Chains A and B, each alone.
Chain A
Amino acid sequence: MTAQAAPSTRPSPLRMILFVGAALLLALPLLLGGYPLYLATEALCWAIAAAALDLLVGYLGLTPLGHIAMWGLGGYTAALLVKAGLPMPLVLAAAALIATIYSALTAPLALRAGGIFFLMITLAFAQMLQALIDKWSAVTGGTDGLTFQPGVDSTVLYLITLAALALSLFLLTRLTRSPFGRVLEAIRQNEGRARALGYPVFAYKYGAVLIASAFIGLAGALGAYHRGIVTPSDVFWLQSAVLLIMVLLGGARSLWGPVLGAVLYTVLQALVSSQTDLWAGLVGALLIVLVLTGRGGLWAILHRRQA
C-alpha cells in the first residue's frame, strides 16, 4: 500500500475523459428519461456515499460496517421532514446534521475499541438503529416504511444530485489534499508514528468519521427523495457491505474510484437482477474475486494503463 502518486498538473487523457463524461452526464436527462434516468440518479446517490466512505477506508484505513445507518438516518430524516413540509435545502442540511450527530454519539466507543472491533461495533450500532426503525412504527411506519411525495421533478432531482456529487467530490478532494488529509494518510500508514509525532490521532479519526457521516447522510436523503420511500431494509447491515463493495470495486486509492464503483455496481445490478434471482450470490462471488485478486480496483487498472 503505497501513497497516492502526486497529481500531475498537465491535463492527462484520463482527465479529458472525465470532462467529456461530465458533459455527457449533464446532457443525460435531455437524451433519456424514465428508467435509465432513474438508474442514473440512483447511481449518483450511491456515488456520494461511496466517495465519503472512501475517506475512511482508502485514506484513513478504517473500515466501518455500520455506515448504512447514516444513509438510513438521512433517508428517514428526509422522509419525515418532507412530510412536515420543509423545503429541500433545509431537509438536506438536516439529514446531514442528524447523520453527523449519530456518529458523534456512537463513534467514540467504536474508535476506542479500534481494529476489527471498530467494524463490529459500528455494525452493532447500525443494527440497533435498524431494530429501532423497525419497531418504532408510530414514527417510522415500521416494516412498511414511509412513502411520501418528494415534490421534485425527476430531471431536476437528477441535476441536483449531480451537483451534490460534484460539490461533495470537490470538498472531499480539497480535504484529502489538505494537511488534514495528509495526517489521515500518515495515520493509515503508521498510526504509532503519527502519534509519536504529536498528532492527536483520535481527534483526526473522529473528525474524519464525522465528515464522512455528513456526506453519507446527505446521500441517503437524496436517495429518499429519489425513491419516494424509505423502509427498514434500507438500513439492513448487508447494505453496508454493498457500499463497501462499491468502494473496492472502483478502487479505494482515489475518490473517483468509489464513484466509478457505485455507477458500475448500479448498472450491473440492474442488468443482472433482471436476468436471475441469484444477484446476491453473484455480488458475493464478485467480492471474493475482488478481494483475492484486486489491488486497488478498476480505477487503479485504468490509471496504470494510462501511465
Chain B
Amino acid sequence: MQLVLFQLVNSLAFGMLLFLLSAGFSLIFGVARVANLAHGAFYVLSAYIGYTVSQASGNFWLGVLVATAAGAVLGVIADRLLLSRLHGQELRQVLLTLGLTFVISDAIRHFWGADIKSVSPPAPFEGPVTLGGLVFPSYPFVLIVLGVVVFLVMRWILRGTLAGAKIRAVTADPQMSGTLGLPVLRISMLTFAAGIGLAAFGGAVGSPQLALTPTLDSTMTLFALIVVVIGGLGSIEGAFIAAVLVGLVNGFGAVYFPAFAQMAVFALMILVIAVRPQGLLGRKLGNA
C-alpha cells in the first residue's frame, strides 16, 4: 500500500512535468504549426541554466525565474531568427528544430559536462512529510500543485481572455485569422515565448525530481510528442489528461514490469491513435 501510494505521488508529479513540457509543445504546434523537436532540448537547457543560477545564488526559485525567462527569450529568438523564415513549410521547420536539438545538446555537454547533476529540493520541501501515518517526500506534492495551478491558469487565459480567444482563433484557422486582421506573426512569437517558457519552467522546477543529464533532451522530446499525440493537438485539457495518463503508465510500469515500462507508454499511444487518430480531445485542425 505504501509503495502504491508512493508511486502514485511520484507518477503524478512526473505527469505534471510532462504537462508543463507538452502544453507548450501543443500551443506552439497549434498556433505556428511547428512540431518543435527541440522542445526537450530547450527543457533541459533551461534546467541547466536554472541549476547554475541556483547554485551561484543559493536561491532555488531565483534559478527557476531566470530559467523561465531564458526559455521565453530563447523561444522568441528561435521563432524570429530561424523558424519564421520558413513560415508554412512544415517539414523544413521540423528539420530545423532537429538541427537545434543536436546543437543544444552538444552545447550542454560542452558547458556542463556529461555527468549527472542532481539538484536538491528548495528549503521547506527537502524533507519528508507524514500523511495519515505514511511518510512521503514532500517535493512531488509541490510539483503536483504547480502543475494543477498552471493548468487552471492556462485554461482561464485560453477560455476567458481576449488573448486566449485570439490564440484559439489562430489555432483553428491561421489563414482566416490573418485575413480577419489578427496579428498572426506577433501571436506566433508570443506563443513561442510562452510555450518554451513553460517547458523551461518545467525543466527548472523538475530538476530535483529528474536528475539532469545531457541525454534527457531526447527522452523529454519523445514524451512531449507522445503526450500531445495522445491528448490531441491544440487542446490543453487533452494535454493535461494525457500527461497524467502517461505519468501513471510510466511510473507504475517502472515498478511492475520494469523492462517494458517505456514500451507500455508507446503501446498506450498506439492504442489511442488506433481508436481516435486525432487524440483523446483533439479536433481536426485547419491546414494541418
Binding site for B on A (CB under 8 A): 63, 109, 112-113, 115-117, 119-121, 123-125, 127-128, 131-132, 135-136, 236-238, 241, 244, 248, 277-288, 291-292
Contacts and interface: CB of A to CB of B under 8 A. Distances in A.
Given A116-B94, A120-B229, A292-B85, A284 B103 contact: yes
A127 B277 contact: no
A128 B267 CA distance: 8
Contacts, number: 115
A127 B218 CA distance: 11
B177 interface: no
Nearest to B225: A120
B94 A119 contact: yes
Interface of B: 29, 33, 35, 82, 85-86, 90-92, 94-96, 98-107, 109-110, 218, 222, 225-226, 229, 259-260, 262-263, 266-267, 269-270, 273-274, 277, 288
Contacts of A132: 263
B110 A285 contact: no
A28 to B, nearest CB: 31
Contacts of B86: 291-292
B266 A284 contact: no
A292 B82 contact: yes
B269 to A, nearest CB: 6
A150 to B, nearest CB: 30
A277 B225 CA distance: 29
20 contacts: A109-B273, A113-B277, A117-B273, A119-B94, A120-B225, A121-B270, A124-B222, A127-B222, A127-B262, A131-B260, A131-B262, A241-B98, A277-B110, A281-B106, A284-B103, A284-B106, A287-B98, A288-B82, A291-B86, A291-B99
Given A281-B102, A287-B95, A291-B86, 16 more contacts: A109-B274, A116-B29, A116-B33, A116-B90, A120-B35, A123-B225, A128-B270, A131-B263, A131-B266, A238-B102, A241-B101, A280-B106, A283-B99, A284-B100, A284-B101, A286-B99
Contacts of B99: 283-288, 291
A128 B263 contact: yes
